[in-house]
Amino acid sequence: MSQPYYEDTSPGYGARPARAAFTTDAATAGLGGIWRFHLSPAADLAPDGFWADDFDDSSWSLLPVPSHWPLHGHGSPVYTNIGYPFPLDPPRVPDENPTGDHRLVFELDDSWTREPAVLRFEGVDSCARIWLNGQELGVTRGSRLPVEFAAGPHLRAGRNVLAVRVHQWSSGSYLEDQDMWWLPGIFRDVTLIRRPPGGVEDAFVHAGYDTSTGRGTLRVDAVTRDGAEARLSVPELGVDDLPAGDTIAVEGVAPWTAETPRLYHGVLATGTERVTLRIGFRTVAVEDGQLRVNGRPLLLRGVNRHEHHPDHGRALPAELDREDVLLMKRHNINAVRTSHYPPHPRFLDLCDELGLWVVLECDLETHGFSAADWRGNPADAPEWAEACLDRIRRTVERDKNHPSVVMWSLGNESGTGRNLDAMAAWVRERDPGRPLHDEGDHECRHSDVYSRMYLPHDEVEAIGRHAEPPLDDPDADARRRSLPFILCEYAHAMGNGPGGLAEYQRLFERYPRLQGGFVWEWIDQGLRQRTPDGREFFAYGGDFGEPFHDGTFAIDGLLFPDRTPSPGLAELKKTVEPIAIRAAEGRGDGRGRRIRITNRYDFSDLSHLCFELALSSDGLPVLAKPLHVPPVAAGESAEIELPVLPPVDGEGWITISALLAEEQPWAPAGHEVAWTQLPLTEEEQASRRGTGPRPVPAPRRRPDGRLVLGSGEFDGRSGRLVRLGTMDVDGPVLDLWRAPTDNDRSASLWGPPDDSAVRWWRQAGLDRMVHRVDEVADGPDGVLVRTRVAAAAQASGMTVEYRWAADESGLVLTVRVEPAGDWPGGLPRLGVRMAVPGRLGQVRWFGRGPGEAYPDSRSAARVGRFSSTVDALQTPYVVPQENGARADVRWAELSGGDGPALRMESVGLPRFSLTARRWTTGDLESARHTTDLAASDRLFLHLDVAQYGLGSASCGPGVLPAHRLQAAPVTWSLRLSACG
Ligand code: IPT
């Protein structure tokens, strides 16, 4: 049997040379809309002759184009990360090769028959064969890359028929092993574009900027048809009819940066065509060991972005590209790596317009060859050379005119090889104006930046100090050591996390060689589904019955699948904020405090911001006033003295915020960019409040055996609080377990396999602790309950004492925990849990908020008064797991329904963090999707004095030592009361 075209390693045939995406005044016709569609389970079962003009497709389905057919009821999606979902037998694909035939009948007027035109596909996954009016145009592979075919000679006035056969699997699939859903289809636009004789074939804008002179240089190279002359005009710069290919200096231009995305509108014209160009002047270079733009080093506060929509997959509705860029800008993100393929071109238009640094990645990943020790890796094997080169050419040619694109990336996780070398050489030749990134090139044979993934903090720090372990070859080592470093992926945002962002950021800020990185990843790749009774949830690998899949591993974004920001995104925003506001040493002359404001922008001064100072007492506002801050230049600091503030009675905090002074294209005036809080009196206040209870009544024992103390009733045998006022409760009892997070469940990428936190915790029996009561005593001081808490088969245990006293405002509980034995994996949490009536659904608290906070992800939570509901306290991680803790709670009140409220107060330090849910930890742990969680008639509260950190072990380092909760003796107190 001869090899079918879809298994040929070539890029395809029939395509026109790649060129830049540009806007032209030549006529275009969008062919998106409703097409006819027919799916065959295998290529050889697809209907013969379906491309014929008169083929009867009336019985076929209707399908919107662009789309992925599995998201429209034809077949189903498949999710794998590294392993190919078919045997590793390149370039062969399975017989079961879903093949989608698409037909569109459309009308044209006769002007289309008079001059040449091209048919352009922006993206077809994974291999398409195309016919126009019965004539074959060619075959294409390269799912996320554009392709054009000459269409003119085949077009007709009146009725035209376009037929496209799309195979899900092809040789190209071997080059497209990105960690994402396999989603075939014509998923980006299809357009007919008139190409007038004497028009523009291609244009390449070269616009540099020299900071020292303030001068720009400009040249546009053009390829035209029929030897036509092309001339450039940029009216705003007084450039008029500059012949293509000529270089000019432009005085006094404003440079393009991601912070100040200044674009100049130009027109490149021949006698027959006008092409619009948006020109941004900037010079990108790696010099003196740093990645610089316009001579200044960048600090990349980046994210990796896959194109994903929970209903449409990578066929993203147009408005979502804008929404993504706006969300990024509003969260202080300044860079994006288009992992792991070129995005829809309009995304880059928005990056140019609104300002983001882009690392533009080629559509290439061969990760699954790692299963064969990279034998036959298409990034190296000669038979794939043309396919690899074709991919980088189509990438660079399409996007070369975007000022936002500051680096080309050859692809992701493709090992090393000759084809990558050839791609690198081609890029260097074609576009010397941009550095090159190749993640797999750890020795930096051709990369201009040293780039790694997920390295732990200490290794990043060593690289920052130029002290990484040497390469064998001293020359290669010297070259690599001289290069800037970026983390092209870090801080894996899977489930609850990532923890440790702030520690990375401190390293980036400290070492000039470290130029930041890109969090993995922007959005959870969950697909919206419904339970039989109509409740929505987000599906992941395995939910579509895929026999081979990678489960939840692509649910690892900073946004939930519906684009709701996760707590991880709030943490990132705070961590990378471009202004640092800190307390400065000493007081000012006016006895006001001094603060130090550091401008961490790379280019902008602070004149686009206004500052505000707010004073609060016990979380209530006392005063707010503008704060004058000079327009500190990028990279500089200034100290200013705060006005003298009135004394406050309660716990006092000063909050200083940096807000947008005026509306920006990406956020309204008043949008908060950065903030900090300075305590006025915190420690004194905390200890003043810690004076402890003044016992009022002594407990008494009732005939039914219950102990009564103040407003509390205790079970006489277990010593548990069972009633508080008129409220049934099931008393605070020690709890050390949490529903494991994705990070808890995973072994660090860099440690021994199986070495997850959960493994240690389960070994110690923390999920199955048994409470034994040693004593329930009542005396003049109150009630004392002594217990020992331990797990079956374990010698280690905890002695736990609960001392209850009553004062005029309620019960005061002091818990003392004394661990005995070894607890080598530490503890997931340390606190008490209690059950209370479900009616208490409203929550108010004074503590950190508004969002959740964990030891290594708590920068975004500020001290204040907040209110919410128990339901809204839940963070709907797609895969249910520990979530929702509100930290450093001074007091919290739960209320609602018919009956008193429950008030919980920290007495002294440590304070507790509060979690409240309508299900137990066990329910949370066993749920696979959010819809598995059913509300009970009770609330389960956790009042913890500590939790284990989050880390990012799901792909990266685990929790840093400082954030691991170790077992140690601890005593804390809290007051409980039923009020109102
Ligand atoms: C890394 C991949 O580059 C990325 O696509 C994604 O799969 C990520 O991991 C995990 O979510 S590769 C990893 C083996 C370091």
Question: What is the token pair recorded at 658?
Answer: 């940096």
- State the distance from the centre of ligand 1 to the C-alpha of 413, rounded, in angstroms: 8
At 1 the pLDDT is 65
At 587 the pLDDT is 63
Strand ordering across the sheet containing 707-709: 700-701, 707-709, 712-714, 721-724, 727-728
What Rg do the C-alpha atoms of the chain give, in angstroms?
32
Determine contact, residues 540/554, Cβ cutoff 8 Å: yes
- State the distance from the centre of ligand 1 to the C-alpha of 834, rounded, in angstroms: 40
CB atoms within 10 A of CB 586: 8
Q: Which residues pair with 205 in a beta bridge?
A: 220
Q: Where are the beta strands (DSSP E) in 171-330?
A: 180-182, 185-186, 190-194, 200-210, 215-224, 231-234, 239-243, 248-251, 264-269, 274-279, 284-287, 290-293, 296-297, 300-304
> ω into residue 498 within 30 of 0, thus cis?
yes
Instruction: Give dist(CA 267, CA 274) in Å, integer.
Output: 6
593: nearest Cα among 649, 677, 672: 677
Please check whether residues 669 and 782 belong to one and the same domain: no
Out of 282, 310, 328, pick the residue that ends a domain: 282
Mean pLDDT over residues 517-537, rounded?
A: 98
Task: Pick the atom of ligand 1 nearest to 367's CA.
Answer: 12
153 vs 695: which has the higher pLDDT: 153
Q: What are phi and psi of 560, to 5 degrees?
A: -70, 165
SS (H, E, C) 560-574: CCCCCECHHHHHHHH
For 699-732, give one letter per residue: b (16+ CB within 10 A) or e. beeeeeebbbbbbbbbbbebbbbbbbbebebbbb
User: Token match 């030891």: residue?
Assistant: 855
Instruction: Give dist(CA 357, CA 558) in Å, integer.
Output: 19
Instruction: Give dist(CA 415, CA 450) in Å, integer.
Output: 15
Please check whether residues 227 and 118 belong to one and the same domain: no
Identity of the amino acid at 538? F
Q: Would residue 778 count as lying in a domain?
A: yes
Q: Where are the beta strands (DSSP E) in 425-474?
A: 436-437, 450-453
SS (H, E, C) 660-674: ECCCECCECCCCEEE
Ligand 1 atom 6: the closest Cα is on which residue? Answer: 179
* pTM, rounded to two decimals: 0.97
Q: Would residue 120 count as lying in a domain?
A: yes
Integer CA distances (angstroms), 98 to 67, 104, 363, in order: 15, 20, 22
According to DSSP, residue 26 is labeled S
- State the distance from the centre of ligand 1 to the C-alpha of 81, rounded, in angstroms: 8
Please check whether residues 632 and 653 belong to one and the same domain: yes
Task: Pick the atom of ligand 1 nearest to 81's CA.
Answer: 7
Task: Pick the atom of ligand 1 nearest to 956's CA.
Answer: 15
Instruction: Give dist(CA 551, CA 553) in Å, integer.
Output: 6
Q: Measured from the CB, is residue 81 less than 6 Å from ligand 1?
A: yes
Residues found in the chain: 980
Instruction: Give dist(CA 854, CA 654) in Å, integer.
Output: 23
394: nearest Cα among 413, 379, 411, 376: 411
Q: Which residues pair with 250 in a beta bridge?
A: 216
Number of structural domains found in the chain = 5
At 608 the pLDDT is 98
Q: Measured from the CB, is residue 955 less than 6 Å from ligand 1?
A: yes
Residue 622 is part of which domain span? 579-684
Integer CA distances (angstroms), 490 to 246, 451, 497, 517, 964, in order: 43, 11, 12, 7, 20
Determine contact, residues 802/732, Cβ cutoff 8 Å: yes
pLDDT at 125 over 60: yes
Question: What is the token pair recorded at 328?
Answer: 């990024």
Please check whether residues 419 and 568 belong to one and the same domain: yes
Instruction: Give dist(CA 978, CA 723) in Å, integer.
Output: 10
Q: Would residue 231 count as lying in a domain?
A: yes
pLDDT at 956 over 80: yes
- State the distance from the centre of ligand 1 to the C-alpha of 144, rounded, in angstroms: 19
**End-to-end CA gap in the chain:** 84
Mean pLDDT over residues 831-837, rounded?
A: 98
Question: What is the token pair recorded at 483?
Answer: 């290069």
At 690 the pLDDT is 47
SS3 state of residue 459 = helix
Task: Pick the atom of ligand 1 nearest to 554's CA.
Answer: 11
Q: Is 489 a catalytic residue?
A: yes
SS3 state of residue 371 = helix
SS3 state of residue 330 = helix
Question: Ligand 1: which of 337, 455, 489, 518 to mutate, judged by most atoms within 8 Å of the beta carbon?
Answer: 489
Task: Pick the atom of ligand 1 nearest to 955's CA.
Answer: 10
Q: Which of 201, 413, 468, 651 is catalytic?
A: 413
Strand 579-587 to 536-539 pairing: unpaired
CATH number assigned to the domain comprising residue 237: 2.60.40.10
Contacting residues for 939 by C-beta, under 8 A, at least 6 apart: 835, 836, 837, 838, 840, 841, 870, 894, 916, 917, 918
Q: Where are the beta strands (DSSP E) in 47-116?
A: 61-65, 78-80, 99-108
At 597 the pLDDT is 98
807: nearest Cα among 694, 699, 689: 694
Instruction: Give dist(CA 514, CA 502) in Å, integer.
Output: 14
At 901 the pLDDT is 98
Average pLDDT, the chain: 96
780 vs 237: which has the higher pLDDT: 237
SS3 state of residue 1 = coil
| Banded model confidence at residue 980, pLDDT cuts 50, 70, 90 | confident
At 693 the pLDDT is 53
Ligand 1 atom 5: the closest Cα is on which residue? Answer: 179
Task: Pick the atom of ligand 1 nearest to 412's CA.
Answer: 3
- State the distance from the centre of ligand 1 to the C-alpha of 382, rounded, in angstroms: 26
Mean pLDDT over residues 131-146, rounded?
A: 98
Ligand 1 atom 10: the closest Cα is on which residue? Answer: 955
Q: Alpha helices, DSSP H only, in 859-902?
A: 870-873
Instruction: Give dist(CA 667, CA 261) in Å, integer.
Output: 15
pLDDT at 586 over 70: no
- State the distance from the centre of ligand 1 to the C-alpha of 513, rounded, in angstroms: 24
Long-range contacts of 375-380 (CB under 8 A, 24+ apart): 376/90, 377/414, 377/415, 377/417, 378/9, 378/90, 378/174, 378/175, 378/414, 378/419, 379/411, 379/414, 379/415, 379/416, 379/417, 379/419, 379/420, 379/440, 380/415, 380/416, 380/417, 380/418, 380/419, 380/420
752 vs 519: which has the higher pLDDT: 519
Please check whether residues 356 and 238 belong to one and the same domain: no
- State the distance from the centre of ligand 1 to the C-alpha of 21, rounded, in angstroms: 30
Determine contact, residues 266/198, Cβ cutoff 8 Å: no
Determine contact, residues 334/259, Cβ cutoff 8 Å: yes
Q: Measured from the CB, is residue 454 less than 6 Å from ligand 1?
A: yes
Per-residue model confidence as pLDDT tens digits over 262-311: 999 999 999 999 999 999 999 999 999 999 999 999 999 999 999 999 99
| Banded model confidence at residue 592, pLDDT cuts 50, 70, 90 | confident
Please check whether residues 715 and 835 belong to one and the same domain: yes
Per-residue model confidence as pLDDT tens digits over 380-431: 999 999 999 999 999 999 999 999 999 999 999 999 999 999 999 999 999 9
- State the distance from the centre of ligand 1 to the C-alpha of 371, rounded, in angstroms: 15
Task: Pick the atom of ligand 1 nearest to 553's CA.
Answer: 11
- State the distance from the centre of ligand 1 to the C-alpha of 438, rounded, in angstroms: 14
Q: Measured from the CB, is residue 453 less than 6 Å from ligand 1?
A: yes
Ligand 1 atom 13: the closest Cα is on which residue? Answer: 955
Please check whether residues 791 and 671 belong to one and the same domain: no
Out of 633, 660, 684, pick the residue that ends a domain: 684
Task: Pick the atom of ligand 1 nearest to 413's CA.
Answer: 3
Out of 194, 216, 236, pick the residue that ends a domain: 194
Q: Measured from the CB, is residue 179 less than 6 Å from ligand 1?
A: yes
Question: Ligand 1: which of 79, 80, 81, 452 to mutate, judged by most atoms within 8 Å of the beta carbon?
Answer: 81
Ligand 1 atom 14: the closest Cα is on which residue? Answer: 955
Q: Would residue 690 count as lying in a domain?
A: no
Q: Measured from the CB, is residue 489 less than 6 Å from ligand 1?
A: yes
Q: Measured from the CB, is residue 413 less than 6 Å from ligand 1?
A: yes
At 364 the pLDDT is 98
Please check whether residues 274 and 297 belong to one and the same domain: no
Q: Which of 176, 489, 571, 713 is catalytic?
A: 489
Q: Would residue 692 count as lying in a domain?
A: no
Please check whether residues 569 and 468 belong to one and the same domain: yes
Determine contact, residues 799/785, Cβ cutoff 8 Å: no
Chain centroid to Cα 542, Å, comes to: 23
Please check whether residues 833 and 792 belong to one and the same domain: yes
Q: Would residue 540 count as lying in a domain?
A: no
Instruction: Give dist(CA 234, CA 256) in Å, integer.
Output: 16
Q: Would residue 953 count as lying in a domain?
A: yes
| Banded model confidence at residue 508, pLDDT cuts 50, 70, 90 | very high
CATH number assigned to the domain comprising residue 505: 3.20.20.80
Q: Measured from the CB, is residue 742 less than 6 Å from ligand 1?
A: no
| Banded model confidence at residue 122, pLDDT cuts 50, 70, 90 | very high
Please check whether residues 742 and 600 belong to one and the same domain: no
Question: Ligand 1: which of 453, 550, 552 to mutate, judged by most atoms within 8 Å of the beta carbon?
Answer: 453
Mean pLDDT over residues 810-823, rounded?
A: 97
Q: Would residue 254 count as lying in a domain?
A: yes
Q: Measured from the CB, is residue 520 less than 6 Å from ligand 1?
A: yes
At 588 the pLDDT is 56
- State the distance from the centre of ligand 1 to the C-alpha of 391, rounded, in angstroms: 21
User: Token match 């217990």: residue?
Assistant: 787
Please check whether residues 208 and 266 belong to one and the same domain: yes
Per-residue model confidence as pLDDT tens digits over 669-713: 999 999 999 998 644 454 444 445 565 678 999 999 999 999 999
Q: Is 413 a catalytic residue?
A: yes
CATH number assigned to the domain comprising residue 840: 2.70.98.10
- State the distance from the centre of ligand 1 to the C-alpha of 179, rounded, in angstroms: 7
